Amino acid sequence: MGFGTSLVIFAVGAIMRFAVSVTATGFNIHTIGVILMIVAGVGVLLSVGFWNSWGGFGGSSNRSRKTVDGPGGITTSTTEERNS
């Protein structure tokens, strides 16, 4: 569940908790609103936690290039390391 989805679920839960005044038999709509807000809060915390551990698209990489001019001509070697 992403950050945006969590905000939408929180908004729906808040509407069910604070703005709806319907009496239903068998379940309490206000309790469902509170449950949705709690689930959305957990989703936001998980999203923020995964944002901190995610390195972005492609991760980080180290690239080095070595060019040697010798008797046989110019030789170029490229080394790339991916850190995930």
pLDDT digit string, tens, across residues 2-15: 888 999 999 999 99
Question: Which token pair is 13?
Answer: 């839960």
**Per-residue pLDDT band at 82 (split at 50, 70, 90):** low
Sign of the dihedral through C-alpha 39, 40, 41, 43? positive
The type of residue at 39 is: V
| pLDDT reported for residue 14 | 94
Supply angle C-alpha 50, 38, 26, rounded to 5: 140
Tell me whether residue 60 is exposed, middle or buried, using C-beta atoms within 10 angstroms of its C-beta: 0 to 12, 13 to 18, 19 or more.
Answer: exposed
Q: Model confidence over 28-73: pLDDT tens digits? A: 889 999 999 999 999 999 888 887 666 556 656 667 777 777 677 6
